[in-house]
Amino acid sequence: MFYTVLIIWLLLDQLTKYYVMNHFLLGESLPVIPNVFHLTYIINRGAAFGMLANQRWFFLLVAIILLAVCAFYWKRLAKGHWTLQIGSALLVSGAIGNGIDRYMIHGVVDFFDFRVWPIFNVADIAICVGGGVFIIWNLIQTENTEEVENIAAAENDVGQRLDIYLAAKLEVSRSNMQKLLEEGRVFRGAKVFKANYKVKAGDVFTVMLPEPELLEIRSEAIPLDVIFEDEECSCC
């Protein structure tokens, strides 16, 4: 999902900019809804919505840092919740889209003009929506009741398979632990572990345990033949 969203949004950004640059004169404005929404071609030397103008290398550096952070945490992003994947893909596509402009023309092509708001582009939308998705995801995680366990390996644990070691430590089945490992719920920082990882001295593992499912107990009518019954007891 990450690559799909990234590629689609990046193509949409670059194609719309290409169209505007080849069909509009710089500064030209086309009313779509007069005095409400126009298409206005400008070169923005600042950040999203025109902020911090003429800071080209600063914004290129910020884009590179953002891409480096996403690359560092890629394993967790790839196995994370779909909201996390979409949010990170939008942020990366926005950073790449505007980064291409800054490198090629020393500014960013903007054209969406709502008259009461600074002019922006498709990449700016991606950055804002991606950031919003990240905030929502973090709020969900904050309210999440999942239990987090931090487990430190001792000298006598060295050499064990991780799934067997953690299953014994947390008193869960090996199959359940393998599922947690496949879902990326066992990690240390950005590193996500596999089931066949051999435990090393000094390893510390963070395990996110899902909230236990509440089982609903339902009564069931069972037909019984009464053999004997009085005021004190019944025999079936």
Cα angle 188, 191, 192; round to 5: 95
Q: How far apart are alpha carbons 195 and 180 in whole angstroms?
A: 9
The single residue of 13, 101, 113, 124 carrying the catalytic annotation is: 124
Contact 160, 199 (CB under 8 A): yes
Q: How far apart are alpha carbons 169 and 187 in whole angstroms?
A: 16
Contact 152, 200 (CB under 8 A): no
Q: 203 an active-site residue?
A: no
Structure tokens that stand for 30 in this block = 């086309």
The single residue of 13, 110, 163, 203 carrying the catalytic annotation is: 110
Q: 124 an active-site residue?
A: yes
Q: How far apart are alpha carbons 153 and 165 in whole angstroms?
A: 9
> CB atoms < 10 A from the CB of 62, how many?
15
Structure tokens that stand for 189 in this block = 């920082």
Q: Rounded to 5 degrees, what are φ and ψ at 147?
A: -85, 135
Active site residues: 110, 124
